[in-house]
Structure 1
Amino acid sequence: MPPVPFKYKLEYFLTRAFYRLFCLLPLSWAVKLGMAIGGFTYRIIGIRRNVALKNLETAFPEKSPSEREKITRQSYRHWGGMGAEFARLTKIDQRFITKYISFDGMKVIEKAFEGGKGCLNISGHLGNWEIMGAVSAQLGYKVTYIVASQSNKLVDKLMDDQRRANGIEIWKTNQAARGVLKSLRNNRFIALMIDQDAGRDCVFVDFFGKKASTHKGPAIFHLLKNAPLVMSSCIRIKGPYYHILFEEIKIPPFEGTKEGKITHITAHITKLLEEKIRQYPEQYFWMHKRWKTRPPENSIKSAL
């Protein structure tokens, strides 16, 4: 095994230090500190600030530059607060849920499990999906995450340990197919994020009016196993207070090829996510290069 680079060790120990600090503070203070760090990152450090502003220009061309800048600043503050909350995932228990979490759509999620086929839980980098997963696990649902590996293996393990502390099962993206199929057989709640650039192994569907490389896994597993699709969101109300909502996804009828059906389903669930983001743009992760991979030229021309 090659030696761990000093940069990775430093990153790991700093992350551990912040985790400890956030856990020592009262929750409301921790969230305020996290938000302050997020605001500092936006104003002073500026990590991916230009990416976020460019994405918002694509998504909301009708808004003024000052409006988009305000959304970006609020987004950084939200994600700083989420960082503090992630550090405290191991502290989530029934008392936390009773005090800080409200729910809608619990009958939807209960109905989804009645068939014994598992549940494809569709979401994106909006609000706080980490709290949603941890809370769902605390409520007794068998939760599975499909997550990408971090380049820093020390931090990667630290993050996964935070999730496992709440009983969440972790599968890495390079084992996604195996993990999802096994989880569906075991009637598990599978959290699938559909808003990351999927490279070339994808389908291109509209996202805020622009073709975006999108993972087709949720559509494939839905067609293959007839597993129910549920849209979930965990939206910050104020400070550490959140509202979790589960909504049944009903796919409009479509006649066509298998590939056509995959594109149709992917486009529909992406549209649902977009509608949710439009409601809470300040809680979305605009720092990701969502439209990085572009469709081939011939496919663009044929669509015109």
Structure 2
Amino acid sequence: MQYHLVKYISRLVCLLPAKLRQSLGRLVGWLCWPLVSAKRRKMAIENICRSLKVDEQQAYALAKASAVRFGPMFMEVLQMPCLTKDNIGQYVKINGREHLEAALKLGRGAVLATAHTGNWELLGASLAMHGFPLVAVVQRQTNAAMDSFINEYRTKAGMHVTYKQGVREMVKLLCAGKIIGLLMDQDNHRDGVFVEFFSRLASTPQGAAALGRLNNAPIVPAFITANQDGTHTAIIHPYVVVEKTADRGEDIRITTQHLTKIIEDHIKQHPHEWFWLHNRWKTRPPAMDSETTNRQIK
């Protein structure tokens, strides 16, 4: 029932003029902001103040913008059936396409390292529609109806969908020359590697670096940002290759740190587009002596 309701709403959204669709998205975002708990708002504001060195008033504005933007994002996801290979260029412009093409020419597949900034769903869909063999590695939604809905739209856009638990499938697809898309900016309390993020140690997913090292595959950082006119720009960086030594753990840590710094630099340029409502520093690093701690955060 829920699945069919969302599909019906999606059809209605696709019929709306672009300006009306954008206005409704902003309205939805503004209406949802009061529903964000005071505890989560406080956490976001504190993290923004500490990370960006701004005052509480500026941090509040950024936290609010970070939350409100989910309204337009939701409308853009509902609009995805309107997007095709023929018209995707009108909605998403790609800067740095040559970097992803160069990575694929190596013949070892590629890992796309991205973050929860901008409309990351649109990033994957647009790359697939531009002809790149993208595999979306996703988290299974607790709501089965919404899980089916979003995966259906991902597949229609041309993406292959696999869940995070499917490591063997990821390796197989990577060896077949596919692009494995991974989000690597959320707290990983189970098997993350601690690297510096905004001058604090953060437990970070090591999947991108681990996959890159395993298959000697290039890792391509990529993001998407919204433009004032409602269109988007995908930003693709030059690829990174894991320098392989006898110390696998250190190879992964060094590469993860490098990728995390690229993510941090992007967030600094577009702070309102990152998901500040997530507690990125939730997992504490293990007890270390002061000398080790100082060495890691320099």
TM-score, length basis structure 2 = 0.90
Stretch deviating more after TM superposition (245-254 or 77-86): 245-254
Pair 1:113 & 2:104 matched: yes
Indicate yes or no: 2:50 matched with 1:58. yes
Q: Specify the SS of the correspondent of 2:131.
A: coil
Report the count of equivalent residues: 292
Question: Do residues 149 (structure 1) and 135 (structure 2) align?
Answer: no
- Contact in 1 for aligned 2:135/2:161 (Cα 8 Å): yes
CA distance in 2, matches of 1:99, 1:34: 19
* 1:287 counterpart residue number: 277
Give the corresponding residue for 2:175: 185
Question: How many Å apart are 1:240 and its aligned residue?
Answer: 2.3
TM-superposed CA distance for 1:296, in Å, is 1.4
Within the candidate set 5, 9, 13, 1:22 is matched to: 13
Measure the CA separation in 2 of the matches of 1:51 and 1:18.
33
User: Measured at CA, do residues 66 and 15 of structure 1 come closer, stay the same or move farther in structure 2, by a change above 3 Å?
Assistant: farther
Which residue, 198, 220, 223 being the options, matches 2:210? Answer: 220
Q: Structure 2 matches for 1:90-169, cutoff 5 A?
A: 90-169=81-160
Specify the alignment match of 1:241 in structure 2: 231
Question: Using the alignment, how far apart are the partners of 2:289 and 2:173 within structure 1?
Answer: 35
Q: After superposition, give the CA deviation of every residue in 1:232-272 in whole Å (9 maximum; x if it has no partner).
A: 11110124211112111346968672211111110110011
Does the aligned pair in 1 maintain the 2:243–2:251 contact within 8 Å?
no
Letter of the 1:29 counterpart: L
Structure 2 partner of 1:207: 197
The residue aligned with 1:269 is 259
Q: Which amino acid aligns with 1:59?
A: S
1:131-150 deviations in whole A, cap 9, x for unaligned?
Answer: 12111111221110111111
Asked if 1:89 is matched to 2:80, the reply is yes
The aligned amino acid for 2:150 is M
Q: Secondary structure at 1:235's aligned position in 2?
A: strand
* Secondary structure of 2:136 counterpart: strand
Query: Contact 2:119–2:225 at 8 Å: present in 1 too?
Result: yes
Distance 1:16 1:52 in 2: 33
How far does residue 109 in structure 1 lie from its aligned partner after superposition? 1.1
- Are the counterparts in 1 of residues 14 and 81 from structure 2 also a CA contact under 8 Å? no
Partner of 1:4: none
- Percent pairwise identity: 29
1:24 CA drift (Å): 2.8
Shift of 1:213: 0.9
Cα–Cα, structure 1 residues 190 and 251, in superposed 2: closer, same or farther, change >3 Å?
A: closer
Normalising by structure 1, report the TM-score. Answer: 0.88
Corresponding residue to 1:49 among 24, 41, 49: 41
Structure-to-structure mapping, 1:251-270, within 5 angstroms: 257-270=247-260
* 2:66 counterpart residue number: 75
Other structure's SS at 1:68 match = helix
- Distance change in 2, residues 1:252/1:120 (3 Å): closer
AA aligned to 1:264 is I
Amino acid at match of 1:54: E
Amino acid in structure 1 at the alignment position of 2:181: A
Q: Distance in 1 between matches of 2:290 and 2:169?
A: 34
Any idea what the Cα deviations from partners look like across 1:38-65, whole Å, max 9, x if unmatched?
12211x22254334223313322x2011
- Pick one of 179, 187, 191 that aligns with 1:197: 187
Q: Could you say which residue in structure 2 is the equivalent of 1:3? A: none
Is the contact made by 1:35 and 1:76 (CA closer than 8 Å) also made in structure 2?
A: no
CA apart distance, 1:14: 6.0
CA apart distance, 1:75: 1.6
Q: What amino acid maps onto 1:218 in structure 2?
A: A
- Contact 1:254 1:264 survives alignment (8 Å): no
Q: Is the 8 A contact 1:200 1:293 kept in 2?
A: no
